[in-house]
Chains A and B, each alone.
Chain A
């Protein structure tokens, strides 16, 4: 059984222009020991999925349907008090903007120790020791001294390490990481992600990693879910998604990330308007932007299993494979830098 199992999650948000259908039946599973990447463009609903699961939705957003079972218990229907006991203990969060997520008035060591004491009932002295050990584990040199630092005294990379230590202190079963390296420098990003991967491998925690960076997903995730307009449009292993994308949206993403601009492709009109969540098109939501759309795409879309746990929300997942093969025959797709 999966550790976290989100099923058919639907979330609506009230806006001055009507009800926005922000999540339209999201289903994701995260098993033990794995890092699952959740990717998609701004407004696709990646973060909203995480916040719904954590029970931290704002006043204008509401869950209208669906379940999110964590170890078999539905997080969405349990009382807030119980959910609070789970958050920070078995279920931890790492957010973007780590400095904003730390308490500015308490030293980082105390924050970590407090989390440890509250959820694990450890004694004061032990918790302090644990906090220092946790800081050491995330590669912070001289952790006893750093434990006394306050959030504003830390660099972005250091604050993100502290946040990971804070998330890891109670040995959570699942970590939800929302854009954990966005805004950090490349060299620091590598340090942070190496650390996260190593901690996962060492402790057996699972991670739901929300990001818009395909390079991060390709290098650090086991499985990937691709979101568009509040739905998972494709999911599979990293090899399946990057090697053999079956949904046109995934294909456009993967192609864009391999872009070398060498070929003489003429630039086209930009039709990238984000979908209007108040008034989504019937059938496939990607239809207005899809280069292969036909009339049949306006009918309800099936989630097609194309083999090996690789699923795509598309009427014609096989068509894309043929198309891809043609492309490959025509030109060898170039790699990234220095490859």
Chain B
């Protein structure tokens, strides 16, 4: 299978207002996704994961790097070509309340991409809008509503319908369920999975929620401070994390099964601001395992098993496992 989405060495820096320093949000990231597959991009706030997603769609101009979609060079496109390209690559946003114009009817929102990218007439658009509503399991009468009249879960289905209107091949899903109530999350995720299967869509699934990433992704990349520090098959990375940061992140995920207490690794402090990224391994200042050679250059991804790599200097010698922090005492009701 050929690579559908391929990005090499993507860098994105922003200038800070009123100062000369640059914020390096993304610091040399490679992304490769085969057609019809899902790459889960995991990280905490400030890791640059959303910026990567926006660069792949060229909603942000990368500072450096190369991005190809089905072999086509996205960064070389002129504005008009890029605008037409938007029919083939779409985005589903984090917060459906914020990403759907509150003053437009659902119908106008869903039909807008059809108007921009197809030569369908009014009746053709109407028919296609109805089809899209059935596709996302909503009713046709929802088209005559305004966004504030629908629930968060329903609105996100509208966001998905809008993204799928022109039958794109590639979707960037930026935390599509994190603002939704728990009870409707699974429904939206199932919907996405089915649509991917039926239409062979390639997904970049951005999330900080490891449970949904595990359920959605074929491969996973973990980001920290603008760098991918671990990547590999989803089961490998999430089941057997190698980079100290991945280990800490995974151990912080809370299981809903009381009594089940995993080993916990608590890192000191918080993700620093991307203005002063340390040279070498970005985690070094917080890492209990850091040593002198962490500080020099960014460590390469050392392979653990085929396709699974972690950017930690200790991986080759196998001394990269974090010591366990004392688990919480199990609370008993008194």
Contact = CB atoms under 8 A, between A and B. Distances in A.
A45 interface: no
B328 interface: yes
Contacts of A252: 183
A267 B254 contact: no
28 contacts: A34-B333, A41-B183, A185-B45, A186-B249, A186-B252, A189-B252, A214-B256, A215-B255, A218-B258, A219-B254, A219-B328, A222-B333, A222-B334, A223-B333, A254-B256, A259-B185, A259-B211, A260-B214, A261-B193, A266-B194, A267-B190, A270-B138, A272-B151, A273-B151, A335-B255, A335-B260, A338-B253, A339-B260
A272 B153 contact: yes
B152 interface: yes
A336 B183 contact: no
A259 B187 CA distance: 10
A215 B181 CA distance: 14
Nearest to B251: A190
Interface in A276-321: none
Contacts of B257: 218, 242, 335-336, 339
B66 interface: no
B121 interface: no
Interface of A: 33-35, 41-42, 155-158, 185-191, 194, 197, 201, 212-216, 218-223, 237-239, 242-243, 252-254, 256-262, 265-270, 272-274, 335-339
In this complex, which of B154, B183, B193, B249 has the most chain A Cβ atoms within 10 angstroms of its Cβ?
Answer: B183
A236 to B, nearest CB: 10
Given A158-B270, A268-B187, A270-B138, A336 B258 contact: no
A34 B331 CA distance: 9
Contacts of A253: 182-183
B184 interface: yes
Contacts of B216: 261
Contact of B183 (A256, A260, A335): A256
Contacts of B127: none
Contacts of A242: 256-258
Interface string B235-262: 0001100000000111011111111101
B215 interface: yes
Given A213-B254, A336-B255, A336-B257, A272 B181 contact: yes
Interface string B127-141: 000000000011100
B190 A265 contact: yes
